[in-house]
Structure 1
Amino acid sequence: MTTTGVRAHARIVARPDGRGGTALPVLDGEGPLALRRTRAVDGEAKVMVVGAMSGPLGGDRLALSASVAAGARLHVGSAAATIALPGQTKDEARYDVRLDVADDAELHWLPEQLISAHGSDLHVTTRAELAAGARLVLREEQVLGRAGEEPGRLTGRLTVRVAGRTVLDQELACGPGAPDGWDGPAVLAGHRAVGQLVVVRPEFATHPAEPRMLDECAALIPLAGPAALVSAVAPDALRLRRLLDESLARLSSRT
């Protein structure tokens, strides 16, 4: 920790264990990013991110990377929601996530919600690099403010690349200081929870998902290449999670 915030980088590496399961030769957490392995199921390794400290706070610089080798299967979740809080400085906090998934590897990246508390300023980037035969389920959920409070400033960028080709690159800024219109009818329309679900499967290259409205506040959008995006807004975190879970179940039923 420095006078301007915490610096921490956590790393996960998953590889086949040679017995039909997945080993974790690297499971290295530090600072507020503690990593815990949980019980494996059907050859899939499971890791929970456990917040060991409050935050991220203003001035913090956090990074989390996960690499999944060919033949490995990894599921990453978090023990609780992440709450962005104001710090002792007015500096922006950053949280950078990097995901690498090889051919014939699978990653489920399903953290709990990110809550933007009043007075906070957080910039989150998530970048996923996938080989042509990789599989990915990635969920992001942002909640603007705790109960009864105005949100802080939250900027999130999500980039997904498959075989070196960008299939998704989007950025959303909300809260004080964000571009005008972030809460207008074309963006959040007064809702306080927003989420994305990205599903990448090789079979989508030949049988893409069909675009459709899943709810008046959720849409399924096929992406270039073997990928699909569900984008949703909701009045609260519970409704948002329900929308994304129902969307994932619908996409899974196509296989």
Structure 2
Amino acid sequence: MTATATGGVRATARIAARADGRGGTALPVLESEGPLAVRRTRAASGDEARVMLVGAMSGPLGGDHFTVAARAGAGARLRVGSAAATLALPGQTGGGARYDVRLDVAAGAELCWLPEQLISARGSELYVSSRVDLAPGARLVLREEQVLGRAGEEPGRLTSRLTVRLGGRPLLDQELACGPGAPGGWDGPAVLAGHRALGQLVVVRPEYAESAPAARVLGECAALTPLAGPAVLVTALAADALRLRRVLDEALAVLG
């Protein structure tokens, strides 16, 4: 853990999973520092390794720079969640914070990235960058949930970019900015339409190359869209985090 130029905290967590040769998944790398703590937990099945991100300190605060890097090697099954929501808060020194997620999935491996919600508190400024690199034949379930402001509170400034590459080629690349100072219209009918919780699921499965789920509407403010590759994208809006999670859980159940 080190200090950033703006007086914040720079911290990194690293996770690496590999097949153990006995039908299970080993974790040869499980490292964390400062506000980021990673813990192995009991898995639901014997071939899967499950890891939880645990917030050891408040953050990210203004000026902080957090990074989480996870890799699933060939034949590994890795599931990563978090123990609680991540709360972006303003820092004493001012300035924005950054949170980078870097995921790497080898051929024949599976990674489920299922953290709890990210909450953008009033006065905060956070840039989130999630980049996923998949080898052909890799499997992915990625969930992102963002809540703009706590109960009865205006949101902070939140910019989020998600990039997914398969075999070195772009599969999905999108960015959304919300809150004070964001480009006009972010809260209008063409974007959030007054909702304060937004989320998405990206599901990549090799079998989708032959038969991908058809596009459909899921509830009042959610849709499933096939991507130009063996993947689907589910996007959803809701009034609050609880309703958003319900919609995304139902979508994952539809996808099996």
TM-score, structure 1 normalization: 0.98
Please say if 1:33 is aligned against 2:27.
no
Structure 2 counterpart of 1:136 = 140
Structure 1 counterpart of 2:108 = 104
Q: What secondary structure sits across from 2:218 in the alignment?
A: strand
Amino acid at match of 2:81: G
1:59 to 56, 59, 63: 63
In the alignment, the residues of structure 2 paired with residue 4 and residue 180 of structure 1 have an alpha-carbon distance, to the nearest angstrom, of 31
C-alpha deviation, 1:45, in angstroms = 0.1
Superposition map of 1:10-29 within 5 A = 10-29=13-32
Question: Which deviations, in whole Å up to 9, do the C-alpha atoms of 1:67-110 show, x marking residues without a partner?
Answer: 10000000000000000000012211000000000000000000
In the alignment, the residues of structure 1 paired with residue 220 and residue 182 of structure 2 have an alpha-carbon distance, to the nearest angstrom, of 25
Q: What secondary structure sits across from 1:239 in the alignment?
A: helix
In the alignment, the residues of structure 2 paired with residue 232 and residue 167 of structure 1 have an alpha-carbon distance, to the nearest angstrom, of 19
In the alignment, the residues of structure 2 paired with residue 221 and residue 90 of structure 1 have an alpha-carbon distance, to the nearest angstrom, of 39
Structure 1 counterpart of 2:174 = 170
Superposition map of 1:63-74 within 5 A = 63-74=67-78
- Which blocks of at least 5 consecutive residues in structure 1 are unaligned? none
Aligned residues with identical type, % of pairs: 75
Equivalenced residues, count: 252
Amino acid at match of 2:133: E
Q: What secondary structure sits across from 1:238 in the alignment?
A: helix
Superposition map of 1:71-90 within 5 A = 71-90=75-94
C-alpha deviation, 1:42, in angstroms = 2.6
Please say if 1:152 is aligned against 2:156.
yes
Superposition map of 1:103-252 within 5 A = 103-252=107-256
C-alpha deviation, 1:231, in angstroms = 0.2
C-alpha deviation, 1:16, in angstroms = 0.7
Question: Which deviations, in whole Å up to 9, do the C-alpha atoms of 1:32-81 show, x marking residues without a partner?
Answer: 11000001323100000000000100000100000100000000000000
Amino acid at match of 2:83: A
In the alignment, the residues of structure 2 paired with residue 185 and residue 55 of structure 1 have an alpha-carbon distance, to the nearest angstrom, of 31
Q: What secondary structure sits across from 1:126 in the alignment?
A: strand
Amino acid at match of 2:28: P
In the alignment, the residues of structure 1 paired with residue 112 and residue 212 of structure 2 have an alpha-carbon distance, to the nearest angstrom, of 20
TM-score, structure 2 normalization: 0.97
Question: Which deviations, in whole Å up to 9, do the C-alpha atoms of 1:171-230 show, x marking residues without a partner?
Answer: 010000000000000000000000010000001111112111111200001001101000
Structure 2 counterpart of 1:45 = 49
In the alignment, the residues of structure 1 paired with residue 194 and residue 51 of structure 2 have an alpha-carbon distance, to the nearest angstrom, of 35
After TM superposition, the runs of 4+ consecutive aligned structure 1 residues lying more than 3 A away are none
